[in-house]
Structure 1
Amino acid sequence: MAFLEIVGVRKSFGATVAVEHFDLTVERGEFVSFLGPSGCGKTTTLRMVAGFEKPTTGRIIIDGVDVTDMPPNRRNIGMVFQSYALFPNMTVAENIGFGLKIARRPADEIRARVEELLRIMHMPEFGRRYPYQLSGGQQQRVALARALAIHPKVLLLDEPLSALDAKIRASLRQEIREIQRQLGITTIYVTHDQEEAMALSDRIVVMSRGRVEQIGTPFEVYNFPATRFVASFVGTLNLIQATVVDAALGLLSIEGRPIRVARPLVQHRPGDAISLAIRPELIALDGQMNGEVNRLSGIVEDVTFLGSIVRVQVHLSANKLHLDLFNNPQLRPPQPGSSITVQFAPEACLVLGEDGSPHHSMSASATQAA
């Protein structure tokens, strides 16, 4: 039996539907992220789990207990907000122990728990400081410790890192994951940052316009998107217009040039216009790949240095595509204005139908090899 169950949940505000038919089961100790753009319903769903919003229809069950109509203070939920929400007139230790104090736990128990969490947060010497004496990252660690102090059944985090700079955000998300694994606490994490969701999660729930688009592991969501929205929202994606030449053989034409995908196009006929999706990292410069490959030629429009990756933008006749090359100081990347030929395997292609659903050409083994 799942530890957390969200069953047929729907939430509307008047005529506006914020969440539509949300179903999810979460195992004990699992880390699940809600990922999607602003307004997709992810925070509303989190607030329903916390008890701050009541579902219009549906049920929420935690550890076998239906908590749908239960107030937040009886759900034993720990919640961390984007804004830290620390009490400015309390020390770090007092902030962390606040929930236990409200629960009228013994002073010795509170002191021991606060000291334990300060050690876990790598802040044993910060107990007597006040929030204004801390950096943003340190304040968020205190907020996390306060949420964990009450031994919650479920930990909820609502975009807790979005106010921090990139380097601190990357460091703190790793700490959050390590602490979550150490404590074995069931965690729901809300974010609009796809990299954050993929780095942290056991599974990701991708949402759009109040609906669940896909639930899967980071590997599944990135490599095998279930809808066009997921394919375009998660990761960088090239969308190229193509025409079906021979559906049974998986033959396409892009601007008059033949392209083959790995599987028959069973839902299409010759002459159909389709969108072909290819990840930038699955495209290489001509001559870098072995076996059967597709080739396209064009002019380099732009080269962007991204540290370990160099992203090259290539202009075809009516399409543009990006390819990602590993940075190598010994090799000069293609220069803007130069002619270039790129190649990619048939297995790298994802054919998007008119309804927006992908017809996969990639296999798991091919993706892993890439």
Structure 2
Amino acid sequence: MAFLTLTNIQKSFGAVKVVHDFDMSIDKGEFVSFLGPSGCGKTTILRMVAGFETPSGGTITIDGKDQSRLKPNQRNIGMVFQAYALFPNMNVFDNVAFGLKVAGKPKDEIQARVTEMLKLIHLEHLADRYPYQMSGGQQQRVALARALAPKPQVLLLDEPLSALDAKIRVSLREEIRHIQRQLGITTIFVTHDQEEALSISDRVVVMNAGRADQIGTPFEIYNRPATRFVASFVGTLNLIEAKVVDAQKSTVAIGDQMIVLREKIDLAAGSAVQLAMRPEAGSILPGATGNTTLTGQVVSSHFLGSVIRTRMDVAGNTVSFDMFNDPNMAPPAIGDNVSLKIDSADLIILQA
């Protein structure tokens, strides 16, 4: 049975509807990321779960209890914000202890719990420091410990890494995931960074204009996008224009090249169709496997260190493909005619 359930959630600000009929069930201990561009409704849903916003319709339940009309302090929820939100006049120990003191916990219990939390985030040696004496990454770890100290049922993370530099973001997101697994706490993580969402989540919700375009595992979201928006927003994607030749045989034409797709086609012959393919799906190396070949002329080749990204023209479509750097083999040159071997299963028909 689901631990956190959002049923037909709606939210309007005046005449503007920002969340439309959102439904989702989250299991106990699951880590779910809400991914999408600014203004898509992901933070609004998080704020409704926290109690900072009241749904215009629908219900939110945690462990079978309706939360929809409870105030934030009546919900057993921990929240970490983008801007740390630490108390500048309190040291690390007192910041982490704050929620426990408000709850009226005994001194001995507060001491033990704060010590446990500081060990968890590996900052027990900085208990006496103030926020201004710490780096951004350290402050965000303190904010995480403060949110976890009262033992919340649900942990909410609102873009907690976006103010940090790239290397700190990577290490801290891994630490957050490790702590979440260690505690087994149900977690919702809001981000606009696809790499963050894909790397640490059990499931990802891709939000678009107040709706969930797709909910699935990172593997499903990346490899089998359900809509054109998901396909274009998550990862790098080739978009290839084609025409249906024979719907029954799933045959399409890309210029004068015929391709037999794995997917069933529900369009009449002559209809235009857009195909999607990831850059890593094909290879031009000797011995490359695949039941389909795309032939074209190289228009650019970029050396990116471990990876070489090459673009070729296929009947007016620019198709990118990636290959690992091999010191013993020169990358394709502009003007070369190359044949890209792919599996037809990697060509996805994009729906509206």
Q: In the alignment, what sits opposite 1:32?
A: 32
Q: In the alignment, what sits opposite 2:256?
A: 256
Report whether the alignment pairs 1:325 with 2:323: yes
Q: In the alignment, what sits opposite 2:299?
A: 300
Percent sequence identity over aligned pairs: 57
Describe the superposition over 1:191-210 as per-residue Cα deviations: whole angstroms up to 9, x where unpaired: 11111111111111111000
Alpha-carbon distance in structure 1 between the residues aligned to 2:317 and 2:311:
11
State the Cα distance separating 1:337 from its structure 2 match. 4.1
Alpha-carbon distance in structure 1 between the residues aligned to 2:31 and 2:194:
15
| Paired letter, 2:325 | N
Give yes or no for contact 1:92–1:142 (8 Å, CA) kept in 2.
yes
State the Cα distance separating 1:221 from its structure 2 match. 1.2
Give yes or no for contact 2:289–2:341 (8 Å, CA) kept in 1.
no
Give yes or no for contact 1:177–1:200 (8 Å, CA) kept in 2.
yes
Give yes or no for contact 2:290–2:342 (8 Å, CA) kept in 1.
no
Alpha-carbon distance in structure 2 between the residues aligned to 1:138 and 1:331:
44
Alpha-carbon distance in structure 1 between the residues aligned to 2:307 and 2:298:
20
> Unaligned 5+ residue runs, structure 2?
none
Helix, strand or coil: the match of 1:164?
coil
Report whether the alignment pairs 1:46 with 2:46: yes
Helix, strand or coil: the match of 2:6?
strand
Alpha-carbon distance in structure 1 between the residues aligned to 2:286 and 2:269:
31
> How large is the RMSD of aligned CA atoms in angstroms?
1.4
Alpha-carbon distance in structure 1 between the residues aligned to 2:29 and 2:290:
43
Q: In the alignment, what sits opposite 1:363?
A: none
Give yes or no for contact 2:298–2:310 (8 Å, CA) kept in 1.
no
Alpha-carbon distance in structure 1 between the residues aligned to 2:330 and 2:98:
58
| Paired letter, 2:181 | R
State the Cα distance separating 1:290 from its structure 2 match. 2.6
- How many residues are treated as equivalent by the alignment? 352
State the Cα distance separating 1:76 from its structure 2 match. 1.1
Superposed counterparts of 1:70-219, under 5 Å: 70-219=70-219
State the Cα distance separating 1:263 from its structure 2 match. 3.7
| Paired letter, 1:341 | S
Distance 1:104 1:168, change over 3 A: same
Give yes or no for contact 1:300–1:339 (8 Å, CA) kept in 2.
no
Moved more, 182-191 or 330-339: 330-339
Helix, strand or coil: the match of 1:97?
helix
Q: In the alignment, what sits opposite 1:334?
A: 332
Superposed counterparts of 1:7-18, under 5 Å: 7-18=7-18
Give yes or no for contact 2:247–2:268 (8 Å, CA) kept in 1.
yes
| Paired letter, 1:63 | D
Give yes or no for contact 1:313–1:321 (8 Å, CA) kept in 2.
yes
State the Cα distance separating 1:247 from its structure 2 match. 1.7
Distance 1:99 1:292, change over 3 A: same
| Paired letter, 2:284 | L
Describe the superposition over 1:171-193 as per-residue Cα deviations: whole angstroms up to 9, x where unpaired: 11110000000000000000111
Alpha-carbon distance in structure 2 between the residues aligned to 1:159 and 1:310:
31
> Unaligned 5+ residue runs, structure 1?
357-370
Helix, strand or coil: the match of 2:111?
helix
TM-score by length of 2: 0.97
